[in-house]
C-alpha cells in the first residue's frame, strides 16, 4: 500500500519454508522513471536483482517509510533499473501465516529465533526472487538482524555464496560484546524467561497492534501529545539501538510509529541476549548439554565461522550505533570476515542504528550502494 501510494508498482509474492512458515515478499519490478521499456514488456527485461532484508522488530515497510523523492533506497534502486525484493521474516507483520499453525493461538508457531530465519527464511526468499526473475545471483542489502542472518547463512552454505553478488551490511551485527546499550541488561532475564517459555510455550513479543494506529491518529491531531509520544518512543527505541529523533524527517514520524514494532518471538530476543552474555555469534543454546548434543553433536552451542564467507561484503557502521557498536566492528567484524570490500565509509560520524533507514543523510550510503551496483553491472558481473 505504501509503495503504490508512492507511485511505484508493487507485487506480492509468497513462499513457504520447509518447516511450514509462509513468508510474504514485496517486489518493486521497476521504477517510475524507468522508460527503457513500455507496458508489460518492462517486466520481461532482465534487471539486476536486489534483495533487502529488514532488522529485528521491523518489517519490509521500514525500507520505504521515508517516502519517495530520493529518500528511500528501494525506490532509488528501482529507478536506476533494479528489480527490488523486500523480504519479511517469520513472525513479522507480513509473514504470520503457516501451513498448519495459527500465529494468534499457537505457542508452537513462536518457537523460533534468528537461527531459523537464517536456515529457512533467507534461502527460501532469495531462491524465490531468483526463480521469478530468472536470475542466478543477486545483491543483498541487510540491516541489523538482516545482516546477522545473512552472515550466518553465508558462513554455513557454500552454494548460497554463489547466489550473492555482494552483501551490503548496514549496521552489521555479529558478536554483541562491548555494548553500551541497556539491552545488555537483558542477560539477567535469560534463564527466568527461558524457564517460562519451557513451561508455557513460545510467545510473541511487541507485535504491531491497534495501539500503533491509535498513536498515529493522536500524532496527526495533537502536536503536544505527539511530542510526548515521540519522547517516550525515543527512549524505548534507544533501549535497543540508540536513536536520535532529530536525525529523521519529522513529517514521517507518524509513519515510523505506525509501522513499528513489527513483532518477533520471545525466543528470538533470548537468542540475542545469549549472544550478549557469551560475546559470541553462536547458535541457539538449549541450556542443556544433552539437547545441544542432540541438535549440534556437541554439548555447547557452536559458533559461526565467518571466515567461511566467500561473497564480497561491504560494511557500514555508525559512530552512535549502540547495537552494532563501532568497537565490535573494529575488534571483531573486520577480523572475522575476510572478504570485505572497503567502500571508503569505514565509520559514519554522528550516525545511529536507524539512520540507515530513516536518516536525513542516508543518501550518503545509498549513493555508495547504487554507484557500486551500476559499476559492477557495467563490468558484466553476474
- Residues 6 or more apart whose CB falls under 8 angstroms from that of 125 comprise 15, 23, 25, 51, 53, 85, 87
The residue written with cell numbers 551500476 in the block is 374
330 to each of 177, 325, 333, 335, 337, how far by Cα in Å?
12, 9, 6, 8, 11
**Tally of helices (H runs) and strands (E runs) in the chain:** 16, 11
39 to each of 1, 30, 31, 123, how far by Cα in Å?
21, 11, 12, 31
Distance of CA 76 to the CA centre of its chain: 18
Cell of 149: 542472518
The residue written with cell numbers 550502494 in the block is 369
Q: Is 144 a catalytic residue?
A: yes
Bridge partners of residue 16, in order along the sequence: 22
Cell of 67: 517516502
Beta-strand pair 138-143/164-170: parallel
Find the catalytic residue in 95, 353, 355, 370: 353
Distance CA 272, CA 123 (A): 21
Of 264, 265, 268, 247, nearest in space to 256 by CA: 247
Cell of 262: 513489527
Find the catalytic residue in 321, 336, 352, 355: 321
By the 10 Å C-beta count (0-12 exposed, 13-18 middle, 19+ buried), 106 is classed as: middle
Q: Is 54 a catalytic residue?
A: no
By the 10 Å C-beta count (0-12 exposed, 13-18 middle, 19+ buried), 102 is classed as: exposed
Find the catalytic residue in 72, 92, 144, 301: 144
Q: Is 60 a catalytic residue?
A: no
Q: What is the DSSP letter of 210?
A: H
Catalytic residues: 144, 321, 353
Amino acid at each position: 500500500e505504501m509503495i503504490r501510494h508512492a507511485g511505484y508498482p508493487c507485487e506480492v509474492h509468497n513462499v513457504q519454508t520447509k518447516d511450514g512458515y509462509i513468508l510474504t515478499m514485496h517486489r518493486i519490478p521497476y521504477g517510475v522513471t524507468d522508460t527503457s521499456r513500455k507496458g508489460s514488456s518492462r517486466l520481461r527485461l532482465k534487471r539486476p536483482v536486489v534483495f533487502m532484508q529488514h532488522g529485528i522488530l521491523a518489517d519490509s515497510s521500514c525500507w520505504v517509510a521515508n517516502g519517495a523523492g530520493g529518500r528511500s533506497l528501494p525506490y532509488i534502486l528501482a529507478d536506476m533499473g533494479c528489480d527490488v525484493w523486500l523480504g519479511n521474516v517469520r513472525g513479522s507483520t507480513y509473514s504470520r501465516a503457516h501451513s498448519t499453525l495459527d500465529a494468534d493461538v499457537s505457542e508452537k508457531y513462536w518457537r523460533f529465533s534468528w537461527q531459523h530465519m537464517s536456515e529457512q527464511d533467507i534461502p527460501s526468499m532469495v531462491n524465490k526472487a531468483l526463480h521469478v526473475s530468472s536470475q542466478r545471483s543477486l545483491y543483498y542489502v541487510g540491516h541489523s538482524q538482516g545482516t546477522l542472518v545473512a552472515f550466518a547463512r553465508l558462513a554455513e552454505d557454500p552454494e548460497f555464496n554463489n547466489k550473492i553478488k555482494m552483501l551490503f551490511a548496514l549496521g552489521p551485527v555479529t558478536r554483541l560484546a562491548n555494548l553500551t546499550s541497556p539491552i545488555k541488561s537483558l542477560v539477567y532475564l535469560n534463564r527466568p524467561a527461558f524457564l517460562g517459555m519451557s513451561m508455557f510455550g513460545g510467545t510473541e513479543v511487541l507485535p504491531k497492534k491497534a495501539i500503533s494506529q491509535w498513536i498515529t491518529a493522536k500524532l496527526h491531531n495533537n502536536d503536544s501529545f505527539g511530542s510526548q509520544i515521540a519522547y517516550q518512543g525515543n527512549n524505548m527505541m534507544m533501549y535497543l539501538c540508540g536513536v536520535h529523533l532529530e536525525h529523521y524527517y519529522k513529517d514521517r514520524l507518524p509513519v515510523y510509529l505506525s509501522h513499528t514494532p513489527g513483532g518477533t518471538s520471545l525466543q528470538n530476543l533470548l537468542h540475542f541476549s545469549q549472544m550478549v552474555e557469551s560475546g559470541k555469534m553462536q547458535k541457539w543454546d538449549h541450556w542443556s548439554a544433552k539437547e545441544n548434543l542432540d541438535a549440534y553433536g556437541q554439548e555447547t552451542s557452536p559458533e559461526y565461522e565467518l571466515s567461511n564467507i566467500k561473497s564480497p561484503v561491504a560494511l557500514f557502521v555508525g559512530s552512535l550505533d549502540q547495537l552494532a557498536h563501532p568497537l565490535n566492528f573494529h575488534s571483531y567484524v573486520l577480523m572475522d570476515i575476510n572478504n570485505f570490500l572497503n567502500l571508503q565509509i569505514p565509520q559514519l560520524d554522528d550516525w545511529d542504528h536507524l539512520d540507515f533507514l530513516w536518516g536525513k543523510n542516508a543518501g550518503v550510503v545509498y549513493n555508495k550502494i547504487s554507484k557500486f551496483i551500476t559499476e559492477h553491472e557495467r563490468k558484466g558481473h553476474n
